[in-house]
Amino acid sequence: MGRLDRLDSRLRGADLVARSLSRAGTRHVFSLSGNQIMPIYDALVDEDISLYHVRHEAAAVHMADAWGRLTGQPAVALVTAGPGFANTLSALYVARMAESPLVLISGSSPAAAAGQGAFQEMPQSKMAEPVTKASWTVSALSELDGAVERAYGIAASGRPGPVHVAVAVDVLEAKTPADSAHEPAKAGPEPQVVQDAAASRFLDLTRGAARPLMIAGPAAGRGDSRQAIDEFADAVGVPVVYMESPRGVADPSLGAFAEVLPEADLIILAGKRLDFMLKFGREPAFSRECPFVQIDAEESAVAQTEALLGDPGRMALKVVAEPAAAVRELLARVGGSRPRRHGWAAEVHSAITSRPETISNETDALHPVQVCREIQGLLGGGSVFISDGGEFGQWAQACVDAPERLINGPSGAIGSAIPFALAARLARPQARIVAALGDGTFGFHATEFDTAVRYGLPFVAVVGNDAAWNAEYQIQLRDYGPDRLFGCELLPSRYDRVAAALGGHGSHVTSAAELAPALQAALDAGLPACVNVSISRQPAPAVRRG
């Protein structure tokens, strides 16, 4: 029995929120404090939920995002009203584009003072709508019952994504009889069935194609969904490609995939929207005659594909169903011998596994490939590798493999690597956690080293320091010329000293001979560690088949 139960027979709205989180299986809450959520902080004291207090609200959402990607289960970020909430919007967009399940709970100004200019009054639910699956405001105690459970269900169902619930502070402080609180019934998702005609048509299309390709989206490439898709793709002899980078078909981690894509004579989209990542299905990325099959939980995604293709004949089949469930049904119906497409499968595999081999440097600084090769040496079974965006991040994504990987995702945003690493440590307590990020990226959430030290969450951050916002620097160099370089250079700052000042481990590397010992020392330190490596300014790798 909690403290409030002992004092009176009534529960605050905040207690209902905390109890709902416990019932939903919440283990961690990632948060930054503020006036309008202090009742929830107090209520969490009586629940078996760990609170991780970060240094910026966006970091709380990034941590929840990483937890969702690694576990498949929604995590919770908790922030205050007004500016505190507003700080989460870009991080919500990152999670939305990466199809990561999370629940953001924000405190908001009093419902009783709505429209009267209350402290930090802001239309929070409307602001979050474009970057979430759902967003609403709880303005009365009666609306609180079941709100958390509903948010969890929406976040994890169909195409996963973030859900936002704003709760007015006077609702959190209001009281209700304890016996009026109950556990809402949990309605499971309606089963999605692949109709017999669609299943037969799908299997006929895959068997009749000589060069089919399955392209799966971010959520479809994780956990049980990936296993189901891999099993099905193997059974029907279709190479499968998982796509989660904003560079899409030109993703360096997909090697020379863009070179074989136009050869495909059937494209199967499994939980992947036809969008900028796939060049909107147009030439020269795709053959003009290539038909498409789409399996997606959202009708809007299928409608988008139909609109972009234009020609109704190219939409060979559409299946509105959750991709993993659909392919499990289809797998049960696969009969006969597996189609023989060994040459095509080998060609796709060869293209995807192509990697940059040669390096050249005109400076004494290390080439990104040299750094990535040493990072690879740290990673083994059970490792989690995190790569942020930017040019150094692209080299890392091209050159480093790990059992589990987190990247910035289709949003193209940068800055999430350090919060991702903290959440990865919680989700994978025994794993080696290594993050690669650029020097510009480091500045977004450098103070989360303080968070990592406070909660004992060791990881190794390798900062590729080229003293520039190098992605934009390379655009200027390529498009405008060397005499038009402007505004994208940084100082070669000692980010390792920042980490050390916050209680972590730091080391500075300026030569190849120093790199491997510095990485090992960072790993052995058992602390949040920053290895600051001076690298040359290199454009992202353009991988070609040999």
State pLDDT tens for residues 245-304: 999 999 989 999 999 999 999 999 999 999 999 999 999 999 999 999 999 999 999 999
Q: Residue 325: which CATH number?
A: 3.40.50.1220
- Spell out, as residue ranges, where the chain has pLDDT lower than 70: 1-9, 178-193, 336-339, 357-363, 543, 545-546
Over residues 188-205, the pLDDT tens digits come to 555 566 788 888 899 889
- Rounded to 5 degrees, what are φ and ψ at 460? -120, 120
Burial environment of residue 82 by CB neighbours within 10 A (0 to 12, 13 to 18, 19 or more): buried
Peptide bond into 284 cis (omega under 30): yes
Asked if residue 527 and residue 419 are part of one domain, the reply reads yes
Does residue 406 sit in the same domain as residue 520?
yes
Question: Are 23 and 94 contained in the same domain?
Answer: yes
CB count within 10 Å of CB 479 equals 8
Buried b (16+ CB within 10 A) or exposed e, 370-389: bbbbbbbebbeeebbbbbbb
DSSP class per residue in 87-133: TTHHHHHHHHHHT--EEEEEEES-GGGTTTT-TT---HHHHHGGGSS
213 and 149 inside one domain:
no
Other C-beta atoms closer than 10 Å to the C-beta of 526 total 10
Q: Which residues contact residue 188 at a Cβ distance below 8 angstroms, ignoring those fewer than 6 apart?
A: none
Verify that 165 and 232 share a domain, yes or no. no
Question: For residue 463, which of 428, 409, 421, 431 has the smallest C-alpha distance?
Answer: 421
Residue 145 lies in a domain: yes
| Residue-wise DSSP of 154-181 | HHHSSS--EEEEEEEHHHHH-EEEGGG-
Q: What is the pLDDT of residue 6?
A: 44
Q: Please report how many Cα atoms fall inside a 13 Å half-sphere around the Cα of residue 420, on the Cβ side.
A: 33
Task: Return the SS3 of 47.
Answer: coil
Asked whether residue 223 is domain-assigned, the answer is: yes
How far apart, in whole angstroms, are the C-alpha atoms of residue 501 and residue 51? Answer: 24
* Pair of tokens at residue 453: 């030290």
Cα–Cα distance between 123 and 434 in angstroms, integer?
A: 39
Is residue 313 classed as helix, strand or coil in its secondary structure?
helix
Last residue of a domain, one of 352, 386, 404: 352
One domain for residues 280 and 306: yes
The verdict on 45 and 127 lying in the same domain is: yes
Q: Could you tell me if residue 276 is inside a domain?
A: yes
DSSP state of 278: G
What are the helix (H) ranges across 270-354? 299-309, 323-333, 342-352
DSSP-H helix ranges across 135-247: 141-144, 147-156, 169-173, 196-208, 223-236
As a whole number of angstroms, the distance between CA 105 and CA 188 comes to 22
pLDDT in the model for residue 193: 66
190 occurs within a structural domain:
no
Q: What is the CATH number of the domain that holds 60?
A: 3.40.50.970
Structure tokens at 326: 């659909």
User: Which structure tokens are listed for 531?
Assistant: 């290895």
Residue with tokens 């299309």: 205
Which residues span the domain enclosing 172? 3-180
Domain boundary, last residue among 180, 212, 247: 180
How many Å is the maximal CA-CA distance in the chain?
A: 75
Into how many domains does the chain fold? 3
In a domain, 546, yes or no: no
List the one residue out of 166, 68, 504, 13 whose CA is nearest residue 60. Answer: 68
- pLDDT for 341 equals 77
Pairing of strands 28-31, 50-53: parallel
Residue 4 confidence (pLDDT): 45
Classify the phi-psi angles of 355: left when phi > 0, otherwise alpha if psi is within -120 to 50, otherwise beta: beta
CA atoms within 13 A on the CB side of 45: 9
Nearest to 400 by CA among 474, 460, 467, 470: 460
> Where does a domain end: 293, 318, 352?
352
Pair (40, 173) in one structural domain = yes
Asked if 331 and 376 sit in the same domain, the reply is no
Within this chain, do residues 471 and 391 fall inside the same structural domain, yes or no?
yes
The pLDDT of residue 107: 97
**96 & 244 share domain:** no
Q: Classify residue 545: in a domain, yes or no.
A: no
Q: Are residues 172 and 23 in the same domain?
A: yes
What tokens appear for 170 in the block? 């006077």
**Measured between alpha carbons, how far is residue 9 from residues 23, 92, 172, 178, 259 in Å?**
20, 38, 16, 6, 68
